[in-house]
Each structure stands twice: as structure tokens, then as C-alpha cells.
């Protein structure tokens, strides 16, 4: 374990994108808050925004290396998405919709399909994923769009709505019921479809993401070549459920980018706004809102990044882990937005003024994060349906688990290169959940480290919070293992939500064990862990107070990051702890 766990090519790449996008607080520029908000009033993107992203080469990171692009792994794309999202979620979602449209091609396409789509995406074309239908929404078992075999191909009839990039996208991955085979995925190239046999719907007017192409597409006996079939006939539903595991994870980047922006806006306002003879940051309740939002951002990062790495480390775990990320991280994001709104007070309601009115846009845009790629309830149902199997082995370390955890949480090395394969993904984890199953030995190791290496106050605080979490966790999984669990009930949803908190606590602990080995005994090197674990105890309804002795260091770090080039992150935490210990 080296001292530069975050000094890697993926982070250097994200830093380069940060420089290209510029300071969002600047008065001008296609990714400045001022221009973004001004053009959003007309439902448009700032002139030059998409061109800047394309000229930087963002499209190259939508195509895996083995197909001619520069995408090495999902962690890399996650970091780029985070940087883009903290300025303009509308642009980030446009490319996110393209990723969703092309991932089925990378996973199940043949050589010709992959080569064609790769060329198009690298040339600047977009893609879309046409699954939802007006009368059925996320009810994927009901699919009225039909593909009837006809000679060398199919005749496609039906309507898909709403679909991101449906109008601007050249490539369309369509979910259709193939006569005699069942629902399947078809890859269409609009440039090869007969004119007049299909058309796009007008853009849908939305609360947020104004300017995003959310529209639809209608097929009227559209002739489709036989080579359009993606993967196996009749496997469409399974393929959708698997491909969503990837994009559900990537959505965490949208939320963390939003959390960074709203926290930055609120913190700067708290320093500049003077009431009662002092800057409002000095008001204890204001500081509490900001500190809680900052801790939630660190929790979100600890939870999401390892799951992004798992696509190329342990992809079969994504059926459970991606739903944890998709539920928990947007939920934390929503709460961070609320905390920032409380700090801004009346100004959170204004579409002008503070940060050019960007807070309102961020608030509106982020509302989509809990909705698309499966709503909160859909993801909690997925988690609840897998919980009994996980609970039965929750206290039994997984064979080879330490090796998996090290690859996920030791960030001194790049995540392995992703080699897309639909066969690597599963519909259920069964008992493969090293993050849940590794808690007990990790907590024991942390207590040993506390006793040997840490100053007495920090050792006592860490040991105490680990003991409290361990007791709650043990009772939680014992209860689930002993009882039957109906995933469709409100109880099932509540238990799934609680599991996500335990998953997050374990993720924070592993991050400290594997990526903070050299900083543990330095100022803040363990304090941040104690604080995030106490914050998670609060989410479990436990009356946990944040460790007062660690708060000054954390607040100083938060304030020092405000005007620097580095976004709020564990990378900044590690750098500050390392500097304090040198």
C-alpha cells in the first residue's frame, strides 16, 4: 500500500476534464452556472457546451478499449461523470442515456455490431435505450412493441416513450416481443431505416433537465434486418435487468457531483452572508447542516466507487450492490440538497442571485436520480428479495473475500480493465456478498489497530462506534435469517433500506483499512471514519453524537477545499491526513 492511493491515471484524467470545463462560478463559459441557468430558462443547453465535451474526447470513454475506445473500466467513467455532473446534469444525463443505449452492444453484440456502433459513437453519434411504453412504464413483463419475422429480418411495430436521446440518438436499442421467441433486444441504426416508417415524438417538458432530449419513437411496420438481434432471442428481459446494473452504479456519479455543487454553493454563502453581526457559518445549526452534508458525501463515495470497480473485479455481485448504490446514494444526494437549502434559507427558492440561481437547477435536475433506471421502490424490492440468502451467511467470511475486498477498496491500483461479457453478470448474488460478510473480521482488525496504533481518544471512539454498529448489525441479520421476508411489503422495503446503511458502514471501514493505512494515526486519518460511522448510526435511529474532537479538523478541511481545484472527496481527506502526518 503506497501513499498515493488516489494518484492514478483515472484521477489524472478526471482532473484534466475539470480543467477543460473550467470554474462553474466564472461569469462566462459554456459550463459556468451563469450561462447554464440563462439558457435553461429557454429549455436549451449553453452554446458550445456539447462541442467542448466532444472536442475534449468524452465520447472515447463510452467505448471500451477492446472495441477501439479509451474506456478502461467503470471507475474511470464514474469519475468523469462526477466532474461533468457537478456543473451540468443535463449534459451528463445526455451521455448517460447514450451509455445505456450502447452497453447492450458491448455485452451481447457480435463483432460487426460492436464495430459499427463504436465507429459511430467515436464520431460523435448518440444512442438510446427504448424500453418503456406509455401504458406500461417499468412493467417490463408487458411489452406491446412487436417484431414479426419477415424474410431475412423483422417488421417492427410499436411505441416507446419516454426515452432519453430518442430524437438525437442515431442508434436505438429496442425491447420488442419477437414472434415465436419472446421479448428480445434489437439494435437499430436510424440511417438504415425506411423513411416514413418511424417518427419521433416531441420533447417532453420536465421539471428538471431542461434541454435534455426526453422524447419517444413510434415504429409503423418498420423493416429491420436480421442482424439487428442482440444476444439470444427471448433473452431481452434478462439482458435489460443485467445492463441496468451498470448504469444504476454510474448514477451514483450524478448524485455525488450534485452533492459537491450544492454543498459548495451553501458553504460559500454561509461564509459570505452576515447576520446578527457574524457570518452565518458561525451559527451552530448552520454548521451542522453543512457538516452532515459533507459526511454524507464521503459515505456516498465510499459506497459507490467500490461498486464501480466491481464491474471488472467481481461483476456477478452487481445484482445486489448496484441496487444498494442506486437507492442509497441518490437518497443521500436528496438529503444533501435539503441540508444546503436550509443553509440558503429563502435564497434556495430564488431562480437568481446566489450562484446565478444554479441551486434551483441542481435541485430540479437531481430529482431524476431516484426515478430512472428503476425507482427507489424497484431497487429496494431487488435488495429485499436477496436479503434472506445474504442474512443466513452474514457472519461467515466469504472464501477469498479478503482478496476481493482488497481489489475493491485498495485504491492504490487502477481497477482492472473491463472486458465486456454478458455472461459475467447475474440476476442474483445468492450468497456472494463479501462486503456484508467481511464486517466481523474487519471490525476486529480495526479494534486491534486502534489498540496498537491510535491515540487513546481516537482508539476509544472508534472501538465504541464499531461495537455499537456490530451489535445492531448482528440483531438485524439474525432477525432476517430467522423469519420469512416478503420483498413486496413495506417491512421488506424498510429492511432493504436498513441493509444499505450496514453495507455503507462496511464500505467506509474497508476504505479506511485498505486505503488509509499510512494516515490512520495522523490528524483526521481516523477521525473521518469515526464521524461517518456515527452519521450512519444516526441513520439507524441510534442516538449517536458526532465526535467533537474530530470536527474542527474536518471543518478546516471542508473550508480549505472550497476555493481549491479539488472537489470534496476522500482524496482530499487522505491528502490532508497525509500532510498532517508528514
pLDDT digits 0-9 by tens, 75-134? 999 999 999 999 999 999 999 999 999 999 999 999 999 999 999 999 999 999 999 999
What is the rounded distance in angstroms from the CA atom of residue 171 to the CA atom of residue 186? 10
Neighbours of 457 (CB within 10 A): 13
User: Per the structure block, which three cell numbers stand in for 396?
Assistant: 461467515
565 CB-contact burial (10 Å; exposed 0-12 / middle 13-18 / buried 19+)? exposed
Q: DSSP 3-state assignment of 191?
A: helix
Place 564 in a pLDDT band, splitting at 50, 70 and 90: confident
pLDDT, greater one: 276 or 498: 498
Arithmetic mean of pLDDT, 209-233: 96
Residue 64 is classified by DSSP as: B
47 CB-contact burial (10 Å; exposed 0-12 / middle 13-18 / buried 19+)? exposed
Arithmetic mean of pLDDT, 317-325: 98
Place 227 in a pLDDT band, splitting at 50, 70 and 90: very high
pLDDT in the model for residue 580:
85
Arithmetic mean of pLDDT, 455-471: 97
Helix extents (H) in 454-560: 456-482, 490-515, 527-539, 551-560
CA dihedral 178, 179, 182, 184 (to 10 degrees): -10
Q: DSSP 3-state assignment of 223?
A: strand
Arithmetic mean of pLDDT, 189-209: 96
Place 362 in a pLDDT band, splitting at 50, 70 and 90: very high
Closest CA relative to residue 465, chosen from 534, 566, 418, 526: 534
Residue 71 is classified by DSSP as: B
What is the rounded distance in angstroms from the CA atom of residue 506 to the CA atom of residue 197? 53
Contact indicator for 323, 383 with CB cutoff of 8 Å? yes
pLDDT in the model for residue 3:
44
Element (DSSP H or E) covering residue 388: helix 376-392
Arithmetic mean of pLDDT, 328-348: 98
pLDDT in the model for residue 386:
97
Place 2 in a pLDDT band, splitting at 50, 70 and 90: very low
Place 5 in a pLDDT band, splitting at 50, 70 and 90: low
CATH of domain 239-412+429-581: 1.20.140.10
Output the 3-class SS for 3-62: CCCCCCHHHHHHHHHHHHHCCCCCCCCCCCHHHHHHHHCCCCCCCCHHHHHHHHCHHHHH
Matching residue, cell 480495526 = 446
Closest CA relative to residue 535, chosen from 328, 385, 254: 328
What is the rounded distance in angstroms from the CA atom of residue 265 to the CA atom of residue 564? 14
Place 387 in a pLDDT band, splitting at 50, 70 and 90: very high
What is the rounded distance in angstroms from the CA atom of residue 235 to the CA atom of residue 183? 7
Contact indicator for 155, 147 with CB cutoff of 8 Å? yes
Residue-by-residue DSSP string for 82-138: HHHHTT-HHHHHHHHHHHHHHHHHHHH--HHHHHHHHHHHHTT--EEEE---TTTTT
Domain ranges of the chain: 9-122, 127-234, 239-412+429-581
Bridge partners, residue 128, by sequence: 172
Output the 3-class SS for 278-339: EEHHHCHHHHHHHHHHHHHHHHHHHHHHHHHHHCCCCHHHHHHHHHHHHHHHHHHHHHHHHH
12 CB-contact burial (10 Å; exposed 0-12 / middle 13-18 / buried 19+)? exposed
Going by DSSP bridges, is the β-strand pair 171-178/127-130 parallel, antiparallel, or unpaired?
Answer: parallel
For the stretch 263-316, pLDDT in tens is 999 999 999 999 989 999 999 999 999 999 999 999 999 999 999 999 999 999
pLDDT in the model for residue 4:
56
CATH of domain 9-122: 1.10.540.10
pLDDT, greater one: 372 or 469: 469
**Annotation: CATH topology of 127-234:** Butyryl-CoA Dehydrogenase, subunit A; domain 2 (2.40.110)
Contact indicator for 407, 313 with CB cutoff of 8 Å? yes
pLDDT in the model for residue 183:
97
For the stretch 156-182, pLDDT in tens is 999 999 999 999 999 999 999 999 999
Q: What are phi and psi of 211, to 5 degrees?
A: 100, -10
Mean pLDDT of the chain: 95
Q: DSSP 3-state assignment of 476?
A: helix
Arithmetic mean of pLDDT, 444-455: 97
For the stretch 10-50, pLDDT in tens is 999 999 999 999 999 999 999 999 999 999 989 999 999 99
The residue count of the chain comes to: 582
pLDDT in the model for residue 58:
98
- Whole-Å CA distances, 396 to 369, 429, 448, 466: 34, 16, 20, 18
What is the rounded distance in angstroms from the CA atom of residue 520 to the CA atom of residue 17? 31
**46: Cβ contacts below 8 Å, ≥ 6 apart:** 30, 31, 32, 35, 36, 38, 39, 88
Q: Is the pLDDT of residue 495 over 80?
A: yes
Arithmetic mean of pLDDT, 387-415: 96
Contact indicator for 572, 553 with CB cutoff of 8 Å? no
Amino acid at each position: 500500500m503506497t501513499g498515493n492511493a488516489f494518484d492514478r491515471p483515472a484521477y489524472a484524467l478526471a482532473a484534466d476534464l475539470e480543467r477543460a470545463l473550467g470554474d462553474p462560478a466564472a461569469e462566462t463559459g459554456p459550463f459556468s452556472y451563469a450561462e447554464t441557468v440563462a439558457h435553461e430558462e429557454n429549455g436549451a443547453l449553453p452554446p458550445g457546451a456539447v462541442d467542448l465535451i466532444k472536442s475534449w474526447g468524452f465520447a472515447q470513454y463510452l467505448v471500451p478499449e477492446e472495441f477501439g475506445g479509451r474506456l478502461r473500466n467503470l471507475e474511470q467513467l464514474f469519475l468523469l461523470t462526477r466532474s461533468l455532473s457537478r456543473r451540468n446534469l443535463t449534459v451528463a444525463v445526455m451521455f448517460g442515456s447514450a451509455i445505456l443505449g450502447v452497453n447492450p452492444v458491448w455485452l451481447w453484440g457480435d463483432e460487426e455490431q460492436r464495430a459499427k456502433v463504436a465507429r459511430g459513437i467515436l464520431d460523435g453519434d448518440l444512442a438510446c435505450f427504448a424500453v418503456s411504453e406509455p401504458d406500461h412504464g417499468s412493467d417490463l413483463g408487458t411489452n406491446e412493441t412487436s417484431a414479426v419475422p419477415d424474410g431475412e429480418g423483422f417488421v417492427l411495430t410499436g411505441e416507446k416513450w419516454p426515452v432519453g436521446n430518442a430524437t438525437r440518438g442515431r442508434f436505438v436499442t429496442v425491447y420488442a416481443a419477437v414472434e415465436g421467441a419472446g421479448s428480445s433486444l434489437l439494435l437499430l441504426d436510424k440511417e438504415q431505416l425506411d423513411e416514413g416508417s418511424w417518427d419521433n415524438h416531441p420533447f417532453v417538458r420536465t421539471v428538471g433537465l431542461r434541454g435534455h432530449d426526453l422524447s419517444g419513437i413510434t415504429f409503423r411496420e418498420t423493416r429491420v434486418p436480421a442482424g439487428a438481434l442482440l444476444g439470444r432471442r427471448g433473452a431481452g428481459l434478462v439482458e435489460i435487468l443485467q445492463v441496468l446494473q451498470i448504469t444504476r452504479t454510474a448514477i451514483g456519479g450524478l448524485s455525488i457531483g450534485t452533492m459537491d455543487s450544492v454543498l459548495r454553493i451553501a458553504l460559500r454563502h454561509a461564509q459570505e452572508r452576515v447576520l446578527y453581526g457574524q457570518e452565518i457559518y458561525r451559527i451552530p445549526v448552520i454548521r451542522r447542516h453543512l457538516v452532515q452534508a459533507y459526511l454524507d458525501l464521503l459515505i456516498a463515495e465510499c459506497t459507490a466507487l467500490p461498486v464501480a470497480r466491481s464491474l471488472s473485479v467481481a461483476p456477478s455481485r452487481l445484482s445486489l450492490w448496484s441496487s444498494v448504490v442506486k437507492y442509497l446514494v441518490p437518497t443521500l444526494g436528496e438529503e444533501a440538497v435539503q441540508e444546503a437549502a436550509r443553509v440558503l434559507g429563502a435564497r434556495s427558492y430564488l431562480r437568481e442571485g446566489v450562484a446565478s440561481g444554479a441551486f434551483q437547477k441542481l435541485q430540479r435536475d437531481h430529482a431524476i436520480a431516484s426515478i430512472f433506471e428503476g425507482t427507489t421502490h424497484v431497487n429496494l424490492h431487488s435488495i429485499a428479495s436477496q436479503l434472506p440468502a445474504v442474512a443466513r451467511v452474514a457472519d461467515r467470511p466469504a472464501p477469498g473475500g479478503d482478496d476481493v475486498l482488497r481489489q475493491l477498496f485498495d485504491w492504490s491500483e487502477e481497477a482492472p480493465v473491463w472486458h465486456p461479457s454478458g455472461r459475467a453478470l447475474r440476476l442474483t448474488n445468492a450468497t456472494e456478498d463479501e462486503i456484508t460478510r467481511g464486517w466481523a473480521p474487519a471490525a476486529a482488525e480495526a479494534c486491534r489497530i486502534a489498540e496498537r496504533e491510535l491515540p487513546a481518544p481516537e482508539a476509544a471512539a472508534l472501538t465504541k462506534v464499531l461495537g455499537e454498529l456490530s451489535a445492531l448489525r448482528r440483531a438485524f441479520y439474525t432477525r432476517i435469517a430467522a423469519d420469512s421476508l416478503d420483498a413486496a411489503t413495506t417491512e421488506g422495503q424498510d429492511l432493504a433500506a436498513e441493509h444499505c446503511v450496514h453495507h455503507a458502514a462496511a464500505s467506509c471501514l474497508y476504505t479506511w483499512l485498505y486505503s488509509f493505512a499510512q494516515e490512520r494515526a495522523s490528524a483526521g486519518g481516523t477521525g473521518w471514519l469515526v464521524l461517518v460511522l456515527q452519521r450512519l448510526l444516526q441513520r439507524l435511529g441510534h442516538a449517536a453524537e458526532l465526535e467533537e474532537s474530530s470536527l474542527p479538523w474536518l471543518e478546516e478541511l471542508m473550508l480549505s477545499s472550497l476555493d481549491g481545484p479539488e472537489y470534496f472527496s476522500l482524496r482530499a481527506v487522505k491528502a490532508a491526513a497525509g500532510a498532517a502526518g508528514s
